Structures are given as structure tokens and as C-alpha cells.
């Protein structure tokens, strides 16, 4: 995750038994190199790097990932055909993020090893079709033969179990880790996440690049512009430069772009990342042994 997943969060997740993913999208190539090196020093466990495929420094990011011997890459926001072969030639496992079965099939055809089916609930950039995780995961699991990870709206072990029941073999968790001690997100943003309620996020900037945002002053400015029919150029102007940094990294809650998922409504504390992984796993196991809470089925009174 941009402005959240630096080496501290990533190594903490990997040390706790998850697979931490460095968010290269907010890093210059040399900053990415530094985070990879620090991550290697902080954990012996596997970790990955996410490379959004639409960034200007893309080829430099890719060279850094290969030179540093990273083993797993998560690609997103672009065409998997362009780079998957190149990664595979260098021995990397390639995971691609999709928002539809159609894109999942394209990722499989491009040679990706795994797909992340990311539903409409998710924080950050999102599909235009607005397909929810509940619908997308079984659809993608039916469409492809490679493993599927579910993303979007998962912050508890029971949600993780539900995703598995729907056909996922694992989950990608975003929003929950923004509200972690190790996330590089600004404390104001973390506080905003834990105070968010149902309905406080919405998919926005759909004409330009759909992204789920916390409803703040900047969000309202975009909404007003879209309502009066602003074109892509005007939206680009309003967005300007470094909005995401202003909000998520510098903590300006009015002027910044605050990317976060619907599941923020279920999160009420900033926890160490290792504790979050443990909670997910404990709740998951509790759910496995007692999957149906409804008393008719569970035999409780
Ligand atoms: C603050 C933030 C930044 C994100 N940045 C990226 C990114 O750079 N690349 C990417 O592929 N996904 C990004 N995502 C999406 C996450 O990787 C993940 O798929 C998503 O958060 C899962 O849904 P959830 O937020 O409901 O857990 C971001 C999400 C958040 C909340």
C-alpha cells in the first residue's frame, strides 16, 4: 500500500507468518532499494513487492526488484502481458491484482502464478464495475485454474474464512494494516481510519481512476466537480500532484486523498502488525471449529 507499507510494516507482517508486501508505488527507485535492503535485514521470512504497472519509473522499479533478488512480485493497475514473462525469466513468482473474471483470465493467459480478486469494498484503486468481494471471489475462482487470493473488506478471521469458503486460497488485507503501529501512514490518518463508520468511504474519481476514499473536504470537491460534469482534464487539475502524500503521509485530513476500504468501519484500534496477523489467524481457527454463529445451526440455545 502506498504511503503505508514500508519495510517496518512488511517485515513485521512477514515475521508474524504473513507475507508482507512493500508498496513501491509511492517510492522512488532508490527508496525502494533501501526498503528492500532494510526488510531483508529485519526478517528471514519471504516478503514481496507491489509494483503498480502505470508508474513513470516502472522499468527502474523492476530493475531494483530483480537486482535485489526479490522472489515475489504483486503487479496491479495495468496489463499483466507486458512484464510477466520478464519477471518469470528472472525466476520471480508473479501475482496480479484483478477486479473481474475477464481480467483474471487475461492474467492467467499472461502466465501469472496467482491472482488477487479485489472487490469493490477495497481501499485504494478499484474496478469500474463495482463487483463486490462476495460475488467476485467465486466468479474468479470458477474462471481460472490458478490460485486465487481474495481482497476487499477482509479485516477479521471470520471474513478470511468466508473468503476461503467462497473459493479463495488466501487473502490480501489492506485497510486493517493501515491502522497498525508499523504502517508509515500519518497518525492523523490512522486515527481517521479507526474512527470511520459505515458509509464514510465511497468510490470516487471514476472518470479518471476509480479509488475508494474517505469522505473528506477533497472528496467533496471531487464529488461537486463530477456532479456538474467536469471532464477528465478538470478532475486532473483538482487532483493536482501529491494529494495521496498530503493526506496519508503528511496527515492533512482536509486537503489530502485518503485511500481506505469500507472495512474501516469494523476497525477500532491501532495494533502492532504481528498482533493483527495473530488475531486474524486465531479468529479464523475459531471460525473453522464453529463456523455458523446462528443458534439453529450451531446447537446453542
Ligand atoms: C492506503 C492504501 C493504499 C493502497 N495502495 C495500493 C497500491 O499501491 N497497490 C495495490 O496494488 N493496491 C493498493 N491498495 C489495495 C490493497 O493492496 C488491498 O488490495 C486492499 O486494501 C484490500 O482491501 P481492504 O482495504 O478492504 O483490506 C491500497 C490500499 C490502501 C488502503
Distance 83 CA to ligand 1 centre (A): 21
Pocket mutation for ligand 1, best pick of 21, 123, 155 (most atoms within 8 Å of C-beta): 123
Contact 176, 267 (CB under 8 A): yes
Cα 288 to averaged position of ligand 1 atoms, centre (Å) = 27
pLDDT of residue 50: 98
Q: How far is the CA of 190 from the centre of ligand 1 (A)?
A: 14
Report the alpha-carbon distance of residue 104 to residue 301 in Å, rounded: 44
Q: Does the pTM exceed 0.85?
A: yes
Q: Which of 156, 140, 136 is nearest to 263 (CA)?
A: 156
Q: Determine the atom of ligand 1 nearest the C-alpha atom of 75.
A: 11
Q: What is the pLDDT of residue 252?
A: 98
pLDDT at 65: 98
Predicted pLDDT at 77: 92
pLDDT at 293: 75
Q: Ligand 1, residue 26: give the atom nearest the CA.
A: 8
- 224 Cβ contact partners less than 8 Å away, ≥ 6 residues apart: none
If you count them, how many residues does the chain have? 301
Picking from 1, 14, 2, the residue whose alpha carbon sits closest to that of residue 276 is: 14
Give dist(CA 128, CA 258) in Å, integer.
19
**Are 3 and 249 spatial neighbours (Cβ–Cβ below 8 Å)?**
yes
Plot region of 167 (φ>0 → left; ψ -120 to 50 → alpha; else → beta): left
Positions in the chain whose pLDDT score sits under 70: 295-301
Mean pLDDT (the chain) is 96
Element of type H or E holding 189: helix 187-195
What is the per-residue pLDDT for 55? 82
Amino acid at each position: 500500500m502506498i504511503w503505508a507499507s514500508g519495510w517496518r510494516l512488511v517485515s513485521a507482517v512477514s515475521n508474524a507468518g504473513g507475507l508482507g508486501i512493500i508498496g513501491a508505488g509511492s517510492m522512488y527507485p532508490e527508496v525502494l532499494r533501501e526498503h528492500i535492503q532494510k526488510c531483508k535485514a529485519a526478517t528471514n521470512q519471504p516478503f514481496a513487492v507491489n509494483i503498480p504497472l502505470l508508474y513513470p519509473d516502472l522499468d527502474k522499479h523492476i530493475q531494483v526488484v530483480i537486482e535485489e533478488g526479490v522472489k515475489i512480485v504483486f503487479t496491479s493497475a495495468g496489463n499483466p502481458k507486458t512484464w510477466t514473462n520478464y519477471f518469470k525469466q528472472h525466476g520471480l513468482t508473479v501475482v496480479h491484482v484483478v477486479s473481474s473474471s475477464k481480467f483474471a483470465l487475461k492474467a492467467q493467459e499472461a502466465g501469472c502464478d496467482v491472482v488477487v480478486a479485489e472487490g469493490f469494498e477495497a481501499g485504494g484503486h478499484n474496478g469500474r464495475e463495482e463487483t463486490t468481494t462476495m460475488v467476485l471471489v467465486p466468479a474468479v475462482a470458477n474462471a481460472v485454474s490458478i490460485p486465487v487470493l481474495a481482497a476487499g473488506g477482509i479485516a477479521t478471521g471470520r471474513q478470511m474464512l468466508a473468503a476461503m469458503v467462497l473459493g479463495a486460497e488466501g487473502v490480501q488485507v489492506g485497510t486493517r494494516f493501515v491502522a497498525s503501529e508499523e504502517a508509515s501512514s500519518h497518525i492523523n490518518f490512522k486515527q481517521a481510519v479507526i474512527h470511520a463508520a459505515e458509509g464514510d468511504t465511497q468510490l470516487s474519481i471514476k472518470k479518471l481512476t476509480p479509488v475508494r476514499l474517505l469522505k473528506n473536504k477533497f472528496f467533496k470537491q471531487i464529488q461537486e466537480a463530477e456532479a456538474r460534469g467536469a471532464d477528465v482534464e478538470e478532475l486532473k487539475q483538482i487532483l493536482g500532484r501529491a494529494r495521496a502524500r498530503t493526506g496519508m503521509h503528511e496527515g492533512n485530513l482536509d486537503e489530502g486523498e485518503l485511500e481506505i476500504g469500507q472495512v474501516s468501519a469494523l476497525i477500532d484500534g491501532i495494533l502492532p502488525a504481528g498482533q493483527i496477523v495473530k488475531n486474524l489467524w486465531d479468529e479464523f481457527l475459531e471460525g473453522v471449529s464453529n463456523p455458523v454463529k446462528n443458534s439453529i445451526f450451531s446447537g446453542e440455545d
